[in-house]
């Protein structure tokens, strides 16, 4: 019987493709353009002419061919892995991508390993045909096009930077982009007043955290929120609060003197968009590029204070990770706790060093948001050590009882519900298989003339819609069943690990990493004259026990 091909149609259009397309330049009629709609129309007809089943369409509009982390492309790979599609169809090879190495990896290794046939229509390339010799040559030419395009864009941007044009996505806080020329900065008087105030407060001796606390207490919007409120959509995902780092960066930025410095960062190559810091010799600087917000005298006074503060910290020892670094979370705001090493000089001449942890958000906002949530390392160390030993002892005394407790905790649904889920999985699997057989039979009936083309189109669409719906339901139930099985396996892992620590005497970082996922630290309170603090330990594999 002829193999049933479930086709995934993939369409991609980058910004450069759209700008350079023949349609955009009015060279040829619109139906010859490289638009997403046109790609789909061509490929959909190709599927129908070959008697294949159009399972799903994937679209990436505005994504570069050098980037393979596109949402539509990643979704297509996931569907290929799950068996939803077994043929990937593109208009031409450049739609798949323009990176020679990556395209070759997908066509030669990834797609075949997934059991997926690959077809490029305009290139007449088919992974199951005998015309694959040209595939790598075409891919190499697409790669060259991407490199050439990248070099041209970089050259244009570099020329604009050399001429003193501002190319940032957002104007620095205190400025706005000119409406007539977006490459020119104008003063935003409301924000500029805050910038001047920040510099004056620093000149008067206020710390970074103190400045942040004052602005937060007065309800002044943070830089990103100021931009969103005045020039954007009115809201964003970033914090409304000012932080230590924000104040520090403003006080070090020469943009407020009217000096524009660009080309500080760049990407590794046209294939790797990772941002890297460029050496200062490559920076492009223009003085008096725009109107200054502060005077040079104020700038120098603030920089002198900053230099003096830096000199005071030169002799400080480099920070080393503490026992619980990266493991403690503030129970109220969700930010990590940071370690603080302190030295206590006693009256008898001895010196004692100890470590405490406190909420990082409280520290970076100048104590204006959240609260200390302070806990001393020795206290937490003893508490965690005792709890680990208690769990290990419980496992040694009655392992089955511990397993039963954890299984009940992990399984929110009843045994009857799990049995129903397994029955539903079986039913859906049988129905999906029936629908696939029905699809194959419909094609046979169409070829033999038993049914008309119109009837075939109506029935095949109805059949495929139900098959996709049932497949999605099946995937959801399988994911639930797999999670339940994984939870049971994780419980067994945790029990096997915890039993090793029955005689644990000292808690070290290796033990913390092996056992602890994270620990929630609440704020200390006084109840009936006694200090109390909620501490919740979440173990790897099983969570809170």
pLDDT at 369 over 80: yes
Measured distance CA(537)–CA(375) in Å, rounded: 14
**Quick one: average pLDDT of 127-152?**
60
Measured distance CA(491)–CA(540) in Å, rounded: 10
Q: What is the pLDDT of residues 388-416, one digit of tens each?
A: 999 999 999 998 888 888 887 776 545 55
Please write down the long-range contacts of 176-180, taking CB distance under 8 Å and 24 or more positions apart: 176/230, 176/231
Question: Phi then psi for 189, rounded to 5 degrees?
Answer: -60, -40
Of the candidates 19, 49, 48, 46, the residue with the CA atom closest to the CA atom of residue 35: 19
pLDDT at 23 over 70: no
CB atoms near residue 153 (< 10 Å): 12
- At 22 the pLDDT is 40
Cα 486–Cα 492–Cα 498 angle in degrees, nearest 5 = 130
Of the candidates 224, 215, 545, the residue with the CA atom closest to the CA atom of residue 402: 545
Residue given tokens 């603030």 in the structure block: 302
- At 32 the pLDDT is 37
- At 26 the pLDDT is 40
pLDDT at 421 over 60: yes
Tell me if 195 sits within 8 A of 174, measured CB to CB.
yes
Residue given tokens 């259009």 in the structure block: 13
pLDDT at 27 over 50: no
Instruction: Give the helix ranges, DSSP H, for 335-414.
Output: 360-364, 377-397, 399-410
Q: What is the pLDDT of residues 98-127, one digit of tens each?
A: 777 788 788 888 898 898 999 988 777 888
Q: Which two tokens stand for residue 205?
A: 């001796």
Of the candidates 378, 359, 381, the residue with the CA atom closest to the CA atom of residue 370: 359
- At 276 the pLDDT is 83
**CATH of the structural domain 6-153, one choice from 1.10.287.370, 3.20.20.70, 3.40.50.1390, 3.40.50.2300:** 3.40.50.1390
Measured distance CA(173)–CA(176) in Å, rounded: 8
Give 328's contacts (C-beta < 8 A, 6+ positions apart): 336, 337, 357, 375, 518, 519, 521
Which residue did the predictor score with more confidence, 274 or 520?
520
**Quick one: average pLDDT of 54-70?**
87
Measured distance CA(185)–CA(47) in Å, rounded: 53
Question: Phi then psi for 533, rounded to 5 degrees?
Answer: -150, 125
Q: What is the pLDDT of residues 148-158, one digit of tens each?
A: 666 777 777 77
Q: What is the pLDDT of residues 302-346, one digit of tens each?
A: 999 988 877 766 555 555 678 999 999 999 999 999 998 888 777
Measured distance CA(245)–CA(298) in Å, rounded: 20
Half-sphere exposure of 542 (CA within 13 A, CB side): 26
pLDDT at 134 over 70: no
Least confident stretch, 168-177, 430-439, 514-523: 430-439
pLDDT at 426 over 60: yes
- At 29 the pLDDT is 37
Measured distance CA(331)–CA(536) in Å, rounded: 9
Q: What is the pLDDT of residues 457-512, one digit of tens each?
A: 788 888 888 888 888 888 888 877 777 778 888 888 899 899 889 889 999 999 99
pLDDT band at residue 278, thresholds of 50, 70 and 90? confident
Tell me if 222 sits within 8 A of 239, measured CB to CB.
yes
- At 349 the pLDDT is 77
Mean pLDDT score across all residues of the chain: 83
- At 30 the pLDDT is 38
Q: Which two tokens stand for residue 189?
A: 């008087």
Tell me if 359 sits within 8 A of 372, measured CB to CB.
yes
Measured distance CA(474)–CA(470) in Å, rounded: 6
Q: What is the pLDDT of residues 65-85, one digit of tens each?
A: 778 889 999 999 999 999 899
**Quick one: average pLDDT of 181-209?**
93
Measured distance CA(467)–CA(187) in Å, rounded: 59
Q: What residues does each domain of the chain span?
A: 6-153, 165-313, 330-377
Least confident stretch, 17-26, 211-220, 355-364: 17-26
Q: What share of the chain in percent tops pLDDT 90?
A: 37
- At 515 the pLDDT is 93
Measured distance CA(321)–CA(325) in Å, rounded: 6
Tell me if 46 sits within 8 A of 121, measured CB to CB.
yes
Measured distance CA(150)–CA(268) in Å, rounded: 12
pTM of the model: 0.53
Q: What is the pLDDT of residues 159-183, one digit of tens each?
A: 888 888 998 888 999 999 999 999 9
Residue 254 CA from chain centroid, whole number:
31
- At 102 the pLDDT is 80
Cα 489–Cα 495–Cα 501 angle in degrees, nearest 5 = 145
Measured distance CA(21)–CA(510) in Å, rounded: 58
* Domain at 165-313: CATH code: 3.90.1750.20
Q: What is the pLDDT of residues 225-247, one digit of tens each?
A: 999 998 888 777 777 889 888 99
């Amino acid at each position: 019987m002829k193999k049933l091909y479930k086709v995934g149609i993939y369409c991609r259009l980058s910004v450069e493709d759209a700008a350079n397309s023949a349609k955009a330049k009015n060279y040829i009629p619109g139906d010859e353009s490289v638009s997403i709609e046109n790609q789909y129309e061509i490929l959909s007809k190709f599927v129908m002419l070959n008697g294949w089943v159009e399972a799903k369409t994937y679209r990436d509009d505005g994504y570069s061919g050098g980037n393979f982390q596109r949402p539509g492309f990643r979704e297509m790979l996931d569907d290929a892995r799950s068996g939803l599609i077994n043929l990937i169809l593109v208009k031409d090879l450049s739609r798949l991508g323009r990176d020679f190495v990556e395209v070759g990896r997908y066509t030669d290794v990834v797609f075949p390993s997934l059991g997926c046939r690959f077809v490029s229509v305009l290139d007449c390339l088919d992974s199951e045909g005998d015309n694959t010799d040209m595939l790598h040559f075409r891919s190499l030419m697409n790669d060259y096009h991407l490199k050439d395009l990248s070099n041209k864009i970089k050259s244009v941007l570099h020329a604009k930077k050399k001429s003193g044009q501002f190319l940032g996505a957002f104007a620095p806080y205190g400025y706005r982009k000119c409406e007539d020329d977006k490459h020119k900065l104008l003063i935003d008087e409301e924000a500029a007043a805050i910038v001047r105030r920040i510099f004056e407060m620093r000149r008067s001796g206020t710390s970074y955290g103190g400045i942040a606390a004052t602005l937060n207490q007065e309800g002044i919007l943070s830089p990103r929120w100021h931009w969103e409120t005045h020039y954007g959509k009115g809201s964003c995902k970033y914090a409304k609060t000012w932080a230590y780092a924000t104040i520090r960066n403003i006080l070090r930025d020469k943009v407020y003197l009217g000096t524009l410095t660009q080309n500080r960062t760049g990407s590794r190559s046209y294939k790797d968009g990772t941002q890297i810091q460029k050496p200062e010799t490559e920076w492009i600087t223009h003085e008096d590029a725009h109107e200054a917000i502060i005077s040079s005298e104020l700038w120098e006074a603030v920089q002198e204070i900053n230099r003096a503060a830096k000199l005071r910290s030169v002799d400080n020892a480099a920070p080393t990770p503490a026992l619980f670094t990266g493991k403690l979370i503030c129970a109220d705001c969700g930010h990590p706790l940071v370690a603080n090493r302190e030295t206590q000089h006693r009256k008898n001449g001895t010196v004692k060093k100890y470590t405490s942890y406190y909420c990082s958000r409280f520290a970076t906002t100048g104590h204006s948001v959240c609260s200390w949530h302070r806990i001393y390392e020795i206290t937490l160390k003893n508490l965690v050590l005792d709890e680990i030993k208690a769990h290990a002892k419980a496992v040694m005394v009655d392992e089955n009882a511990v397993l039963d407790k954890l299984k009940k905790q992990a399984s929110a649904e009843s045994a009857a519900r799990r049995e129903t889920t397994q029955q539903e999985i079986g039913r859906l699997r049988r129905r999906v298989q029936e629908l696939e057989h029905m699809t194959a039979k419909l094609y046979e009936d169409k070829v033999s003339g038993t049914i008309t083309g119109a009837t075939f189109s109506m029935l095949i669409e109805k059949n495929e819609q139900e098959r996709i719906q049932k497949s999605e339901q099946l995937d959801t139930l399988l994911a639930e069943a797999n999670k339940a099985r994984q939870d049971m396996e994780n419980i067994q892992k945790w029990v096997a690990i915890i039993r090793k620590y029955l005689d644990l005497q000292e808690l070290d970082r290796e033990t913390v990493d092996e056992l602890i996922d994270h620990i929630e630290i609440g704020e200390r309170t006084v109840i009936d004259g006694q200090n109390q603090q909620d501490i919740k330990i979440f173990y790897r594999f099983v969570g809170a026990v």
